[in-house]
Each structure stands twice: as C-alpha cells, then as structure tokens.
Structure 1
C-alpha cells in the first residue's frame, strides 16, 4: 500500500482530516504496536487489531489537537486577564512606590498578583496565593464538612488503620460492576464516597482550566508515595516491587511491550524522586523552564492496582500515612495547580513572560521614570529576578519545596525540626497575642471593637464548634488543619521534613495545645466573618458598612458579585443568617452565566470570590507564614541546596515577625481606602492591644517560671521602659529578636550575630563557646545542664517544664551550681522588679518532704 493510501486509511479511521505530520505520528505508533504484537506471537486477527489501534491513535491525535486549540484560547484569555489585573494595580499605585523610585510600582503590582498587597486598593488581595487557599477550602473544606455530615463521629476514626483499610477497599468498588459495601462497614462506604467525590471535584476543575484527566473510577485516591523511601532503592528495584501489584491493562492501556512498561515506570520513579515537572533538576539536567501545568497533569500516569490489598501492601512499603493523608495531599496539589491555571492559564510561565514583556514596553513609555532608572526597573520585571518575581513564581508553583538533594534537605529539615521541638514548647502561651490581631482585623471588616472582642472570645471558648457551627467553619475552609496533621504554627518554616520528624512535630504541637488554639481561632474568625456578611445580606453593596465595602473591594468582590453572594449564599443556623459557599452551588443557571462562560463556570467564579475573602481574612486574623513571608524566609530557593538550606536556617523562627510586619502593621499603615493609613484610632488600638496582650503573655510565662508579674512602674512611680518595650515586642511579634533585645537569649552566651544567624547556628555557637570555656577551666556543670535542657526536644512544653523544674531540675541546678536560683532571682529583681513566688530553699526543699 502506498503512503497516500495509508494516509487515506488513517484519515478514514479517524473520521476527520489530519495533517501529514499527524498521520505520520499515527503510522509510526501503529507500526510499533504491530511489531510488539508479532514479537508476542499475537497475530490472530492482527488486521482488525491494527484498525482499532489506528482509530484509537487517531482519536488521541484529534484530542491533542483540540487541547492545543483550547490551551491557546485559554492562554490568550489568561494573558489578557492577568495584564488587566496587573495594570489596574499599577494605576492604583501599589506601594511602596517611593517618589525617588517610581518604577517600583510595576514590580510591586506583579508581586501583588502572586501574594496580594496590604495597600488598600481595589483587587489588592486578589492573588494566586489567596486563590490557592480558596481552592484548598473548596476541596478539603467541603470534604471535611461532608465527612462529619455523613459520619458525625468520623474524626476519631481518621487515624484508625483498620478502618482506613476498609475505606480503601470500598473506594476500589466505586466503579462499573463494582460491589460497594463489600466490607460490611457502612461508615467506610460513606467515607469512601466522600473522598471519591472530592477527587472528582478537583479533576473537573482542573479539566475546566485546561487539563485532560480522565475519570478515575475504582481509584483508591492519590498514591501516597514517600519519595524518601522510594529514593533509597534503585529504579529497577522499585519497578520490580510495584509491577506485580499493578493492573497493567488499566495503567498501561494500549502498551503491550514489557520493555515499554518498564520504561514508563522508570519515568514515574524519576518524577516521584526528582519531580522534574515542577522545575527540579533530575540527574544530568539543568533548570527546566516555564512549564505547561495542564500538560504536566496529563503526563502524570495513574497507577491502578489489581486490588485493595495490593494498594495497601505498596503503601506499607513505599508510602506514608494512609488514604486520608494521600487524599489531602492529592487535593493540596490540585489546589496549587488550579490556582496557577486560574490566574495565569494552562501555561503559567509563558503567560507570566508575556505579561512581563508588556510591562517592560510600558516602562519604556513611562516618562515618570528617569531614563537612567529604566534599565534597572526592566531588569526587576523578569521571571528569574532573584528575591522578587522569580522567587514569588517559584513559591506559587511549589518549585521551592522540591529538593535538589533529598538527603541534604532531609538532614537540614530534621535539624530545624529538632530546634522547633526544643524551643517552641511555650509558643501556645505566646500565641494569646493572636487575640488582638484577630479583633483588629474583624474591626477592619466592619465590626465594632466591642462586637469583635466579645464574639472572638466566645468563639475561641466554643473551639472548633459543634454540629452545624462546626460544619459551617469546615465549609468555609477553616478550623480543620489540626485534624489533617498539618503544622500551622507561624513559627515553623513552611518546608517539609522527613516523615518521622513531621509526625513528631504534629504530635508536639497537638500536645502543646497550639494546634487546637489555631484551629479554634480560625474557626471562630470564619464564623464571625460569615455572620457579619449574613447580617448585611439585605443591603446592596453601596449601603454596606464602609469598612466592609472597602475590604470586599480589595478582594475584587464587585457590586454584582456581592448581589450574587448575598442572594444565593445565605444559610440559617440557630436563627442567625450566615453566608457560606455551599448555597452558591444551587445558583440558577441564568444568574450564574453572568459570571462565566457557562453556568457551572459562573457558579465557581462566585464561590471562589467568597472563598478567597474568607481564606485571606482568616489568615490576616490568625497569622501564618504566607506567600510573601515565604519569599522573605526562603528567597524562593530550592530545598537541598546550600543557599536554600542556609537561608532557611537563618530565617527559622523569623516568619512570624515578618508576617506581623507585612500583614498587620502593613494594613494599619496603608490599608485604608486608596492606600491611606487605617486611622489613628485603629493604630492606637493596635498599640494598646499588642501592649496589653504582650504583657499578658509575659506574665503567663513568668508565672510558669515561678515569678510575680513584671513591674510596669518602679517604687518611685517611674515607668519601667524595659518592661513596656518587652510587652510591645512580645505582642508585636518580634519573637526571637525581642528575646535577644530584652535579655532572654543573650544570657545563653551567644552574640547578636550568632542569634541573628538562626537558632541552629546559635546552638552550635553556644556549645562551642562552652567547649572553649571548658578548655580554659571556666565552664561549670550548671552551664552544661542549662545548655542541654535548652536543646532537648519536648521537655520545654509549657505545662511540663514547670513540673520538671519543681520536682527535679531546680535541685539538680543548685547541686551543680550552688546559688544558681538566688542569682536568677537577683537578675529578675534588678531588671523587672520581680519576686519569686517561693524562696529558693523552699523551691528546692518542698519536694524533699
């Protein structure tokens, strides 16, 4: 048969016209399949099989061509949307655009698209970071709410391995000709359906944004690969272990050559260990440039196992956690990818390059920028621009979390984890300063100070809530991080640690109460914000409280969007109106089409707008290391590199003061309408709140150490400036810097430079200083004990340490260094006018009788 005849046959099988290149691709694929079938001796009905193969391959070519057109169209829309968003921020004057550096507004506008800005301009909080949180709430929050709705007692079962094994077995039956209920465990059957629905929601969203992920019936959730475990064995060893457990027909549809199967699995191994799709280098590769996220999602091959027991066996050998952890991880990645594609289209890197190219041309035309400055401004408008846009892009894409050297990353992460376990035992006590932060942000949203204080305290006392109140918080996307095992402490660097250390930190923060405190605060803020919107649902946008109206505009909630939200998002709980995303799912098609290309698209647009508002405002109330903070603390550098790990060591424990400065102080300074100050009353309340709660936190810590409160004025009535500044520092979030300034860290013998270099460097320096003193005969056993206690994980938990001091450690210190407690009391008396609750001999002697 001639080439022309072959091409005609292929086009006939495809049912449509194909280009010559497409025909050639199909012909080559079919020829490879023919040779594989002949090699296997499967020649019966060969012609029919090849005709079917031609049709299948031609259909794939057709789909690829259609996807290429879809991606092109979505990319054009995304480029236009992102350009308009950034240019609107430039026109609004995102700061700081200092008079002597007017070109800063371009770079700041792009950073605001990634991270948001506290400057009070329209759309300033509408960002990729907020969109990621919105999608996370859509997927995981909805899943959590559905779980407690279907199985109210489920939360205590999500760490029960036997129960989760049954969930996996039930998920495997959610397919054509499956047998749901085969385990006889009704709860597991319900949970399996909820998890499968959450995965389907994320798949549908990603496909809408440009991916092409097939429906995954009978799929037991994301493979919970542990890259550390997999990386310890060779590629061939991993393939040999997993291959017998896989359903080859489903996993490698159309692939019959065993060598090709192993080659594909080899690519899967490399993708798990090195994750090149996110820009991480694999052996022999350099930097991978801007990627097409949609295409990357298509390339991720789903590994279908023969049975639930095969999945469970693989999980035990090469996984971490269980099906619930795997599903949360799967949905987290989906939220990250969806946020990029939502804002920048299926190829975020290419869209960003196009937007930056347009801004550089605009800089050339901008007469407000001195000619000598234009080159510098244009250099800052590049996707690889160091601490600026390049770092923001790597954080938004997740590339900064992917280790170049997993061994280096794991060792460094473990060291930082040990520092956290040894030094953050009292973080829960310090975190009472979250209260004024939350109250002031609620004030920004239109509540009075009295309402904000009363409702937030009441909400914290209610914890995560019960019944419908708890479900509401979950639907909004808040209050469940602790249940997921996520570390939400703002004091902890936002990077990964090996599985065992991650588990230890998760337990540690639960035992200290910080997990509960953070969840309770976030859940309370979410319910208050929802009720505040519900109480205003009868008002059109122009009649809202001016502060609430201003904040909604920062989140790009326009009058039309507000009308849709207030009309369709209302729900009643115990006679009170709340606004939540759930009701928007029932928004009529005609109303929804006004906000998207289709009714479903419009409903998602309205829902995401509300979710962005809730997620971002909750994180302005109860702080965490957000995207902007991560840029400062990691510079967007990859884990497992010398620069990346060095900056993570230096910036450990500094995330909270950075977040406080840029989110709380930044909003107070420039968060008013048009970028103005929030006003003297707000700033005054901020100072008063941080002073009072900072003093309360210090008093609580001192009481646990056995001391009376610090004197605010001395015996002559003169204010003790050191106490006042220490309270402001504690309440204002300066963290370890404040500890050094006011004597808590410097007493360990470290210099300011050693402290600034980070806790790990300070720890090493402290031991080296002690070693030097020991060689000269100046070190004491008491100093060695103090240094060891400061470095030991878990024993510094705020309620455990006082008991250990009282029962054991004070007596041991006094034995090793006579007069230790007396000298400590004298320092406290001199610096702060404090007295111990008990005299040293009482504190030593009481446990002896």
Structure 2
C-alpha cells in the first residue's frame, strides 16, 4: 500500500485530520515525482518519499508548536501593554521610536535594537578593534581577516589570533541564534556555519542565470544544504544531487532575487510580504565548500567583505530579534492587531478620538517601522540600480558640502547639557568625559573594558546618518563620505560624545546602586518605571557588583553587567534590554543622529529608486540633523507636565544654542580666512541663534546669503541635487549659448566655482583656507581675466553681510593675525 492510499484511509476513518492528511499527501506526491524524475525506480521513489514525508511532518509539527507558544505569549504581552497604556493610541508609534513617547511604559523597537547591537559588538570587541576600517575605508589587517573567514568555515589555518577571533564571532552568532529562537524563531544549529552572504541582485541579473549557475554550482556544499521539506541533507558528504535538482534549487534562488519571492505564489488578500521566520531561515539557503569559495562568490556576486558581512549579520539579527519580541513574525500585521486592541478599548470607553488616533497611528507606525528596518526596498533590479546611483551621488555631494560640519557640531554640547540636566545628571561631568575621550587613548580603553564599543568602529555610516540617512551606495560613495567625516574629526567627535554620555549614565547608576527602587532619586526611579523595570529587576541588576576604574571610579554599565551576571541568559537579556534601551533613548536626545518619525513623513511608502522617493530625499538632503534635533526637542518639550516648565526648558535651550552658535560662527569665519565678527552687534546674535542647535545652514543663509554649496533660500529648500542640475546646465549649455550669441562666458570663473563646490574634502577645516588661496584663487587668476574684480567683490559682500573683512583676503597668500579684539567692538 502506497503512502497516499494509506493516508486517505486514515482521513476517511477519522484517525487523521483532513487538513493534516491532505498536506502530507501533497508533500508525498511532490517528493515522489521529484525522486522519480531523478531516475530512482518507482518503488524506491515511493519508499523514499514516504519516509521523507513523515520526517517533514514531524519537523513541521515541532516548529509550529514552538511558533504557536511564542505567538500566544506575544499576544498576551501586547494585550497587557494596551490595557496598561495611559495613552493607548500613541502606544503604536512609541513601540517604534522613543521621541513620540508620552506617558506609556516600555522601551521602543529602535532603542532595543541599538541596545542589542551594542551587546553583540561587545562580544566581538577584539575583532572590531583589530579589523575596523581605517581613514581610507579599508579594513585593517586583511590577511588575518581572510584567515578569520577560513576559520569560520571550519578550516584550520594555524593562525592563533584568527582562530580566537573566529571563536568570538561564532559565539556572538550563536547567542544571536539563541535569542532569535527564544523569541519564536526556529533557526537550527549548524556547526561551522561560516559567514552569511548577501546577494547583489544587480551583478547576478547582469550575468544571467546560466552564467551565474555555472559559476556557483561547484562552490556549493550540497551536504550542508537542507531539503526544505524534510530538513535532511540534499546529498551525502562529498556528493551532490542530480544536475536537474541543482538547477531547480538555484533557479528558485535566482528567480527570487530577480523577480521577488512573492512572484512564485501570487495571492489575493492576506498579509503582504514574507514572514520574518521564513526569511531568517532562507538567509541560510546557500552553503559554500570553504572560505575561498565564499570569498570568490562575494567578490563576484555579493555585497560585503567578511568584516561588513559579520557586522551586518549581527545588526540584522538584533533587529529581527526585537521585531519578534515587539511585533511578531509579521510585524505590520502585528501593528494592525495592536491597533485593533486599542480600537476595542476606545469602543468600550466610547472614546471616538482614541479610535481615530489609533487608526492614524497604525499607518504611521508601519511607515516608521519600514524606515527603521531599511525602508521600502526597490521593487525591481532597475529600481535598485537607480537607488544605488542616486544614493552614491548624494554621498558624493555630502562629502563635498559637509567637510566643515565639525564646526557646527559644537551645538552638540548644548543638547548634551540639556539632556543631562533633564534627567538629573551633572553636565560638567559630561563635558569632562567628552574631553578625556577625545584626548586620551587610556580613557577609550577603559570605556572598552566597560563594554562600550565606538559605533563608527563597527559601522562607518553612523556619523553619516546624522546628516543623510541613505540606502547603500556604491563602495566609492561610502568610502568617500566616510573619509571626509573621519578626516575632519566629526566621527571622533560623535564617538566621544556618545561614549561620554554612556559613561555618565553608568556612573549615575553606580551612585545609586546601594538603594532599593523606592529610595532612588525620583528622576531615576521615574525613568526605570517608564522603561518597564520592576523593583525585583532593579535589585538583580544592582546586585552583581560594580565596575571599578583605575582611578577608583565606580560604574554600573548594562553591557558589562550582562557579560558578568550569573542570571539565566533569558532573564539577563530581558533586564539588560530595558536598562540599555533606557540609556540609548536619552543618548539620542543628547546627540541626535536620525529621526525615524521624520523620515517616515518624507519617504512614506515609496520604494527606494522610485521618483517619489528620490525627489523626497533630494528635498531633505543635509537636513537630517536639523529634523532629528527638532523632532527630539519637540518631543521633550511636549512631554513636560505644564506650560511653565515647557517655557523654561525652551528658553534654556535657545540661550545655550545661541552661545554655541556664536562659537560656531566665529570658528567658521576663521576657517574661511575672515576676521571674527563684532559680538556687540545685535544682528550677530540673531545669526548665532540660527547657527546653533543644528540650524547651521540657516545661519549661513542669514550671514552670507548663501549656503556652503552656493545657493540661497530657494536652492536650500529644493536640495543640493537641484543645485547640481542648475550648475551643470549653466556650466555647459549656458556657456555654449552665451558663446553662440557672442556674450562673455565667464567659463574660467565658473570652472573654479564648480571645483570649489563639488570637490570632496577640499574644505576640511585645517586645509580649506590654504587650498582656497593657494590653489583655487591662483587657478582663477589664470583662467579668469576679471579675477581681481571678483576677489574685491567677495570681500565687499562679506562686509555687507555683517563680517569685518578678511585676514587672508581672496586672491592673496599673505597672512595677517586675526583681529580678535574686534570681537568686542569695532
């Protein structure tokens, strides 16, 4: 009796459920036909298919039970959150990002993801320090890094350092897998898993299936490839399945890359997109024979080197784990479920406004979540190519226009001061921590021992995100922008500022570690309660000792605690995430990087590479910091209890921003070779108010009438890409039209202007003035017959706009001492 006949009898007798029976019969027939097509005799194919079907059903039942338990726990958690929320409608967006938090308890997705990413970074700290990217964007010690890749794939290289680093990375991967499975996932353990790969859809589709298939098939370890249905290896060790089976599997992989996974099974209705659980397992589909095969494939058809692949995998796993915990395996469906619970509560209370707000916030929360997890991905390869092209252009322009951004970043000192005051910490200690970390390698090493990893060590794009949040560009674009931000010192400044905040918080927790929760400083107690920390969890957190620095200082950093606690891993993870997320929320207030809420307004539902997306990104380019700063401060002000406290906070914020703006203005003048401005002039303080607080570009507009990239208010609003198009037209067709009509072209002057505006790195604070005077001005004298008149016009324009002339005039290489006394009145 064949398997399908036996199964039908079981269904007819009622011993087997109809749904399960029909599912098993469909699997059996699919496997039987597959094995017969491979050349197995019918009776052997029937026997193999029957055994494998039973294995597949056992596997499915076990995974389904595990997922079901996790899903029920998530539903209970969400119901409790909605029941206890003081502002249920706002809960939907609060679960994604902190700034919109009102009176509800709990950490956001964004802050928990940051916390978990930090923990994973700590687990591979030696790897990051040894192989983090240098100033040019290259990984350090590439030879050892290749050996790490070999060790990850099970090879014995004899390189002890590489072996130890590989073991640390494997341990981090295993911890991430454990946490994912505890949250409801089902990734099986696989020894010598290696390094995850990321397909480059553009490279693969350009090659076409036949070439890609021939290039990859010999690199695949088929014994480590699991059959999707049965979980069994697709071939014995050292063997391979039939050529037809290879083509079937790799054709499916190729089509998923080229056409999208949904193209294989079009459907009407139901949730859109793939379950997170399915996608997590599919990330392990291809396994390579060895590290060299992985490296070769990655160079031809991948997106990352071993360093980037390792870091990106941990970042992705951190996001996936928190997604499962907060929103379930289908996050947008999870958000809709939360909205329905809020609507149910509103209906019972007869609160129509709550119901309307919940519906609106559900849409907003889904958009925010998409942005927080990478945005809406391109829907075609051509769209992906456009997205990468425009992202690369924007990276290039950012490198050209923001090479003096370090000057405006002194405004961080004010936002850091305000954040510290708000939560009852000493701003003076924050400043001293910042200075120490900027100046002392010993202080940075101590911070590393406490568990803090400088973010740009692992991800060079962290600083870039403060000014332009982007889809991945071509490698040259990322390297160029990363170089400019590192070379001017902005990456170091941001790292030190965020590290200083983290250290200040760890010291604050240690100072009160001897107190029970009810005896804590009210501000800290309130923060812990808002983060969802219970009295019992606080006692467990403070009960495992303190980190003691070389100078005797005591600290209680959550990451250090997590690595040293004796609590069971799952319980320790829960407490750690609450504590570290609480710190990360405030760190984002102190040193803003990105606003998911604002980006969701701009990007909306448009996929990267679409017209709507690219226009929106152009309009908001170089405004990310302003938007994040504004959103954070608005959220802070609105969270205050009354109008009086809001007004006091706003006045303090503006006063501090104005002082920092004044410092930035004077530094900016010196960087341009201009005399310091008269600080007794009331107009100076108006410009300083705009220059401070992240509004540096507006300060430039008011001060000089144009931005650093040469446009006025209209051009700033339209974005740099519009200015590039305008300048390119004037420089090419504009000059040709003038030439044809017999008018003067000013081609030489415009050539120098284009070089000045669009050459990355030439305006770095310590070389910009010298490059302007010794290279660009001298070139203009050669190319422009009216260069002298243009130089005099620039000097006159500077004085008209509130300046006091130049100590290194345009066109001159003679340097005089700046008139610092003139700052007190001329």
1:823 aligned to 2:798? no
**Partner residue in 2 for 1:482:** 457
Looking at structure 1, the residues matched to 99 and 442 of structure 2 have their Cα atoms a distance apart, in angstroms, of 29
After superposition, where does 1:290-305 map in structure 2 within 5 Å? 291-305=274-288
| Partner of residue 94 from structure 2, selected from 97, 102, 112 | 112
| Partner of residue 456 from structure 1, selected from 424, 434, 439 | 434
After superposition, where does 1:376-525 map in structure 2 within 5 Å? 377=357, 380-382=360-362, 385=363, 388-402=364-378, 404=380, 405-462=383-440, 465-472=443-450, 475-476=451-452, 478-489=453-464, 490-525=466-501
Q: 1:189 is paired with a residue of what secondary structure?
A: helix
1:168 aligned to 2:149? yes
Looking at structure 1, the residues matched to 643 and 100 of structure 2 have their Cα atoms a distance apart, in angstroms, of 11
**Partner residue in 1 for 2:333:** 350
**Partner residue in 2 for 1:77:** 73
Distance apart, 1:661 and its partner CA: 0.7
Q: 1:291 to 1:313 in 2, by over 3 A?
A: closer
Looking at structure 2, the residues matched to 132 and 585 of structure 1 have their Cα atoms a distance apart, in angstroms, of 18
Q: 2:555 is paired with a residue of what secondary structure?
A: strand
Q: 1:211 to 1:153 in 2, by over 3 A?
A: closer
**Partner residue in 2 for 1:135:** 116
Matched-pair contact (CA < 8 Å) for 1:488–1:624: yes
Looking at structure 2, the residues matched to 54 and 270 of structure 1 have their Cα atoms a distance apart, in angstroms, of 29
Matched-pair contact (CA < 8 Å) for 1:623–1:659: yes
| Partner of residue 602 from structure 1, selected from 571, 581, 592 | 571
Matched-pair contact (CA < 8 Å) for 1:570–1:577: yes
Matched-pair contact (CA < 8 Å) for 2:618–2:719: yes
Q: 1:457 to 1:400 in 2, by over 3 A?
A: same
Q: 1:381 to 1:630 in 2, by over 3 A?
A: closer
Looking at structure 2, the residues matched to 841 and 737 of structure 1 have their Cα atoms a distance apart, in angstroms, of 27
Which whole-Å deviations, capped at 9, do the CAs of 1:811-848 have from their partners, x for residues lacking one?
334552223332222222232242321455753699xx
**Partner residue in 1 for 2:254:** 269
Q: 1:242 to 1:327 in 2, by over 3 A?
A: same
Q: 2:692 is paired with a residue of what secondary structure?
A: helix
Q: 1:738 to 1:237 in 2, by over 3 A?
A: farther
Matched-pair contact (CA < 8 Å) for 1:568–1:584: no
| Partner of residue 739 from structure 1, selected from 692, 700, 707 | 700
1:631 aligned to 2:584? no
Looking at structure 1, the residues matched to 406 and 268 of structure 2 have their Cα atoms a distance apart, in angstroms, of 44
Unaligned runs of 5+ in 1: 12-16, 93-104, 174-178, 590-598, 714-718
Which whole-Å deviations, capped at 9, do the CAs of 1:97-118 have from their partners, x for residues lacking one?
xxxxxxxx72x33111211235
Distance apart, 1:486 and its partner CA: 2.8
Matched-pair contact (CA < 8 Å) for 1:699–1:710: yes
**Partner residue in 1 for 2:720:** 759
Which whole-Å deviations, capped at 9, do the CAs of 1:521-544 have from their partners, x for residues lacking one?
222221221122112211222333
Stretch of structure 1 that moved more, 627-636 or 130-139:
627-636
**Partner residue in 2 for 1:584:** 562
Looking at structure 2, the residues matched to 570 and 756 of structure 1 have their Cα atoms a distance apart, in angstroms, of 51
After superposition, where does 1:92-111 map in structure 2 within 5 Å? 92=87, 106=89, 108-111=90-93
Q: 1:33 to 1:111 in 2, by over 3 A?
A: closer
Distance apart, 1:745 and its partner CA: 2.0
**Partner residue in 1 for 2:192:** 218
Looking at structure 2, the residues matched to 282 and 417 of structure 1 have their Cα atoms a distance apart, in angstroms, of 36
Q: 1:537 is paired with a residue of what secondary structure?
A: coil
Distance apart, 1:480 and its partner CA: 3.2
Q: 1:630 is paired with a residue of what secondary structure?
A: helix
Looking at structure 2, the residues matched to 462 and 274 of structure 1 have their Cα atoms a distance apart, in angstroms, of 52
Matched-pair contact (CA < 8 Å) for 1:444–1:551: no
Q: 1:10 to 1:710 in 2, by over 3 A?
A: farther
Q: 1:805 to 1:438 in 2, by over 3 A?
A: same
Looking at structure 2, the residues matched to 118 and 446 of structure 1 have their Cα atoms a distance apart, in angstroms, of 21
User: What is the root-mean-square deviation in Å for CA atoms of aligned residues?
Assistant: 3.5
| Partner of residue 585 from structure 2, selected from 616, 641, 648 | 616
Stretch of structure 1 that moved more, 636-645 or 809-818:
809-818
Matched-pair contact (CA < 8 Å) for 1:624–1:659: yes
Q: 2:246 is paired with a residue of what secondary structure?
A: helix
Which whole-Å deviations, capped at 9, do the CAs of 1:230-252 have from their partners, x for residues lacking one?
23221332222111111112124
Distance apart, 1:802 and its partner CA: 1.4
Q: 1:556 to 1:494 in 2, by over 3 A?
A: farther
After superposition, where does 1:688-699 map in structure 2 within 5 Å? 688-699=655-666
Looking at structure 2, the residues matched to 764 and 564 of structure 1 have their Cα atoms a distance apart, in angstroms, of 60
Stretch of structure 1 that moved more, 266-275 or 600-609:
266-275
Q: 1:319 to 1:748 in 2, by over 3 A?
A: closer
Distance apart, 1:703 and its partner CA: 0.7
Stretch of structure 1 that moved more, 331-340 or 631-640:
631-640
Distance apart, 1:160 and its partner CA: 3.0
After superposition, where does 1:306-325 map in structure 2 within 5 Å? 306-325=289-308
Which whole-Å deviations, capped at 9, do the CAs of 1:614-670 have from their partners, x for residues lacking one?
322222222111322322342253201111111111111111111111113431x13
Distance apart, 1:483 and its partner CA: 4.2
Stretch of structure 1 that moved more, 299-308 or 27-36:
27-36
Looking at structure 2, the residues matched to 152 and 499 of structure 1 have their Cα atoms a distance apart, in angstroms, of 21
| Partner of residue 184 from structure 1, selected from 136, 143, 158 | 158
Matched-pair contact (CA < 8 Å) for 2:620–2:719: yes
1:259 aligned to 2:244? yes
Looking at structure 1, the residues matched to 442 and 307 of structure 2 have their Cα atoms a distance apart, in angstroms, of 20
Matched-pair contact (CA < 8 Å) for 2:123–2:169: no
Q: Return the TM-score normalized by structure 1.
A: 0.84
Looking at structure 2, the residues matched to 747 and 229 of structure 1 have their Cα atoms a distance apart, in angstroms, of 37
**Partner residue in 2 for 1:658:** 627
1:536 aligned to 2:512? yes
**Partner residue in 2 for 1:63:** 59
Q: 1:345 to 1:32 in 2, by over 3 A?
A: closer
